[in-house]
Structure 1
Amino acid sequence: MDNPFGAVGTANYVLLTTFRKDGTPVGTPLWAALDDGKLFVWTVTDSWKVKRIRRNPAVTLQPCNVSGTPRGAVVNGTARILDEADSDRVRRLIKRKYSIQGWLVVAGSQLRRGRKGTIGIEITAA
């Protein structure tokens, strides 16, 4: 498996940083799964990070802890919001990587929000 992300590609938590209109960085710790040389994250469909990515797909990534404290080098990337079918793939990747905890979180989210309440994001290393 190709890993152009280094430590970010294998980290349990990844600090995804998106950028506001004025260029202010906003970081969010997320689960991430590496597949086919791309990193996939999963989030709420109407979150601000999704809105920022739709406007500006440039992101940075760092390995971090659960509270978002950075633990390594910054990797630049380009994000793409996925459609419903690809978002299902991201859910499967998250469940596979995070085993029972991932399964519980994804299933709970689908019960609470429905399938369209969350969305996958594909990130390629820049």
Structure 2
Amino acid sequence: MSVLRAIHEEKYVRLTTFTRDGRKKHIPVWIALISDKCIGFTTVQNSWKVKRILHTSSVELIASDYSGNPLKDAKAVLGNARIVDGEEYREVVKAISSKYGWQYKMIALANRLRHFFRNGNLSSDCAIIVTFDKS
């Protein structure tokens, strides 16, 4: 099985981005397979992970629990990330919704309601697509 498919099968994956001085920053994300070459996840444009990816596109992914703790015997994989919007963003949303089903739909609904009543930020307005160095 390819690294890409193995990572895709996990419910949670810890994303590691890198600061300008090389420090690692971790966060768990939901991912979905976008094509036979890449995975994607949604986020907001003003998030720290987006800011870090804008200056350092290298990322690391590893299977994790919901808190971002790596699973036993999980292997980290390196990839290159890029921020997308428009049609590519919608493609990622569709893939995430398909993989996570009602859970994603409930979170999306709650975020829309929060946005409507509090005029807060939506939970996602862009996506990140990761292509792996090796598959």
TM-score by length of 1: 0.89
1:30 matched to which residue of 2? 29
Aligned mate of 2:125, from 110, 118, 124: 118
Residues in 2 aligned to 1:19 and 1:86: alpha-carbon distance in whole angstroms: 24
Aligned length: 124
Residue 120 of structure 1 aligns with an amino acid whose one-letter code is A
2:63 matched to which residue of 1? 63
The Cα offsets for residues 58-117 of structure 1, whole Å up to 9 and x where unpaired, read as: 0000010001100110000000100222111111111110010111212333452359x5
Residues in 2 aligned to 1:88 and 1:6: alpha-carbon distance in whole angstroms: 21
1:75 matched to which residue of 2? 77
2:20 matched to which residue of 1? 21
Secondary structure class of the residue paired with 2:21: coil
TM-score by length of 2: 0.83
RMSD of the TM alignment (CA)?
Answer: 1.8
How does 1:97-112 map onto structure 2 within 5 Å? 97-111=99-113, 112=115
- Relative to structure 1, is the Cα distance of residues 3 and 42 closer, same or farther in structure 2, using a 3 angstrom cutoff? farther
Residue 55 of structure 2 aligns with an amino acid whose one-letter code is R
Residues in 2 aligned to 1:13 and 1:109: alpha-carbon distance in whole angstroms: 20
Confirm or deny: 8 A CA contact 1:3 1:34 kept in the other structure: no
Structure 2, gaps ≥5 residues long: 116-120
